[in-house]
Amino acid sequence: MEKLNSEQTGRLIDLLCPLVGLRGEVDGKVVELVDILDEGPGGQPGIALMEAGVDRSIQTNQYGDPLSRHSRVRTLPVMSEVEPDLHPVLRALIPEDVLRRCREELSGD
């Protein structure tokens, strides 16, 4: 995974924050971008995606007793772990113009 400097991190977060609430389909599931994380997986910036839909799992307490239904939230790094680009899920979700601007920030243009 490509390490981002603090300047790149700040600019990427600024570009992605207005997209909180964005919904899209990724791998056949509808997801919603619910948060942009300053420090996500691996200590790098991340995103939090919530699965939208009717299949909500039952949340339990520490004893395993059911409490309520909730949507699953996943956190992913902003950067791909296998290529020097944004994470593929993020690339599939965000609008093309924002993707282009994020890539410009990463390349230093």
Residue ranges of the domains in the chain? 6-53+70-107
Instruction: Supply the pLDDT for residue 42.
Output: 79
> pLDDT (tens digit, 0 to 9) for every residue of the chain, 109 residues total?
457 888 888 999 999 999 999 999 888 888 999 999 988 877 889 999 998 865 656 667 778 777 766 678 889 999 998 988 999 999 999 999 999 999 998 887 5
Dihedral sign for Cα atoms in the order 63, 67, 69, 74:
negative
Instruction: Determine the Cα–Cα distance for residues 70 and 28; give it in Å rounded to an integer.
Output: 19
Beta-carbon contacts of 60 under 8 Å, excluding residues fewer than 6 positions away, are: 66, 67
In angstroms, the Cα distances linking 40 to 10, 45, 48 are: 14, 5, 9
CA 1 to mean position of chain CA atoms: 15
What pTM was estimated for this model as a whole?
0.78
Instruction: Determine the Cα–Cα distance for residues 98 and 78; give it in Å rounded to an integer.
Output: 13
Residue type, 26: V
